[in-house]
A and B are shown apart, each in its own frame.
Chain A
Amino acid sequence: MVQITAMTMVGKQTRANRIVAGTSVPHPCGDPSAPPDADRALRKEIVRTALEVLQTDVEQPTVFTPKITFTAK
């Protein structure tokens, strides 16, 4: 299982095994305020990371950060 969340600290505390850092609480998988192309690239990278992480063995709750840049809200 993999959890995509903007609140990785809560993910760790609830002991999710694989946690992927999302963009924000209301939009974990993208940024609707970004231009459509940038939003699409962002979504793709987050989901790609999640699929990759699904195939990764972990020993304890582990946070994975997609290779993305975005402005924090």
Chain B
Amino acid sequence: MKLELITYPVKNVEFGRLTSYKNGILKVDKEELKKLVLEDERIVSVDLDVAFPGEQTRIVNVRDMVEPRVKVSGPGGVFPGIIAPVQTVGEGRTHRLSGVTVTASAKMTPTIMSGTAAQDTAILDMWGPGAQLAPLSSLINIVLVLRLADTVSELDTHAAIITAECKVAKRLAETTVEIPPQNMEVFELHEVSPSLPRVVYIVGFMTNWHAPHSAVAYYGLPVRESLPTFVHPNEFLDGALTADARKGISSYARTWQWMNNPVVFKLLREHGKRLNFLGVIVQRTRFEAEHGKLVSAAAASQMARLLGADGAFITRTTASGANFVDVMLTVQACEQKGIKTVLLGPEWGGKDGSELPLVFYVPEATAMVSTGSTDRETKMPAPSKVIGMAEDKLVQLVLGNAPFSPWSEITLDDYSIAGASDWWGENYFTRKAY
């Protein structure tokens, strides 16, 4: 399976009369894209805005974001199971617009009023201390400000938002179809020297079995009670893994992050040079009893062993402690089968860093990379522009929390800032080796 990924960098976005891409300038026909979004009757209104890195803009009601991509040749299309047929992707040629994201800011009428199954939203600051946390603030955000019909169910809300952002993203990437490639990378797990270490990536992620959407979908299908699945890394690049678009908080990875998972990219680029990348084991974590946790760990490690892995790179999502037990047991099960592991991800530790950094550990976890703390708070100054408010005065991040005015100075934890929790080592914290 060979995928040619061609990058078209975007330096500026302008609203204009014809959607087009030329010399790094992306022109966007607002009315055309609005019409595209309003094809879906679940969406009653849409507006488009654009936020640039460095400007004093705060985006609110942030749900999800995607990178503009389009399949130019090869089987299937981008975002399979959502806006393309369910057909294995990761082959042929895909175009992407870099430096830009389609961001969905949406208002809905919730029916689930509390708990982890409820919808939530995040904040994204384009400047200042908030922007220093996550790479999403360094992208030009083309924001879809959506209002869902009152009668739309929770799952349909997700479906409407993700369909809208994927359709718009694909349309924007289509502007590059006729432009000859200048920046091409080829990703293929070709045969390599047998002397190179065999490495597998185990991407663990929490899912909620009781929620309308489990938090992560594979080809549009929410992953629930499943045992580990083996995936080609190229599938990530064509949008085969996507998020629950109702949940903006950074406990979960956004679709943009699934498409740009830095571990997947790094291992693909090192394939044949420093290592032999075998592929990705996609592992649903946070089983609800020890039995499930042990079985999941056994299955993931057994899959790695049968692939002949010498080493496994392991990550997770969400701050859930129950979830972390599955992850640590996977580290243990791999090590016990003779597979060396590296576990990467954030710690807990409390606001001042004095609390327990890991809720559970195993003696076999001897190589870990910390991406910082998830519990810190960041003070963010007042913005001069807010996107995503419509006629509202207040925003609410999580149901049950007090609504507040986004026009003022605010102090938030990492979970409330889009992309600020660093599950995959893509953020800006400096690591120090001890």
Contacts and interface: CB of A to CB of B under 8 A. Distances in A.
B287 interface: yes
A48 B325 CA distance: 28
Interface in B293-327: 321-322, 325
B359 interface: yes
Interface stretch (A18-26, A37-45, A51-59): A18-26
Given A25-B322, A73-B209, A6 B360 contact: no
B289 A24 contact: yes
B404 interface: no
B421 to A, nearest CB: 21
A23 B359 CA distance: 20
A10 B287 contact: no
A59 B321 CA distance: 27
Nearest to A70: B289
Contacts of A7: 290, 322, 325, 360
Interface string A1-45: 000001111100100000001011110000000000000000000
Contacts of A23: 289
Chain B interface residue bracket vs A: 10 to 19
Contacts of B289: 6, 23-25, 72-73
Given A10-B321, A10-B359, A10-B360, A26 B288 contact: yes
A73 B292 contact: yes
Contacts of B428: none
B209 A6 contact: no
A73 B284 CA distance: 13
Contacts, number: 36
Contact of B288 (A8, A13, A73): A73
Q: DSSP class of B's interface residues: helix, strand, loop or mixed?
A: loop
Q: DSSP class of A's interface residues: helix, strand, loop or mixed?
A: loop
A45 B64 CA distance: 45
Contacts of B35: none
A25 B288 contact: yes
A38 B296 CA distance: 27
Interface in B204-232: 209, 225
Given A25-B322, A73-B209, A8 B361 contact: no
A57 B406 CA distance: 56
Contacts of A24: 288-289
B291 interface: yes
A10 B293 CA distance: 13
Nearest to A6: B289
Contacts of B209: 73
A72 to B, nearest CB: 4
A38 B184 CA distance: 61
Contacts of A26: 288
Given A25-B322, A73-B209, A73-B287, A9 B360 contact: yes
Contacts of A72: 287, 289, 291-292
B157 to A, nearest CB: 24
A10 B288 contact: no
Contacts of A8: 290
Closest 5 pairs (CB-CB, A-B): A72-B291, A24-B288, A73-B288, A24-B289, A25-B322
Interface of A: 6-10, 13, 21, 23-26, 72-73
Interface of B: 209, 225, 286-292, 321-322, 325, 359-361
27 contacts: A6-B288, A6-B289, A7-B290, A7-B322, A7-B325, A7-B360, A8-B290, A9-B325, A10-B321, A10-B325, A10-B359, A13-B360, A13-B361, A21-B290, A23-B289, A24-B288, A24-B289, A25-B286, A25-B288, A25-B322, A72-B287, A72-B289, A72-B291, A72-B292, A73-B209, A73-B287, A73-B288
Given A7-B322, A10-B325, A10-B359, 13 more contacts: A7-B360, A9-B290, A9-B325, A9-B360, A23-B289, A25-B288, A25-B289, A25-B322, A72-B287, A72-B289, A73-B209, A73-B289, A73-B292
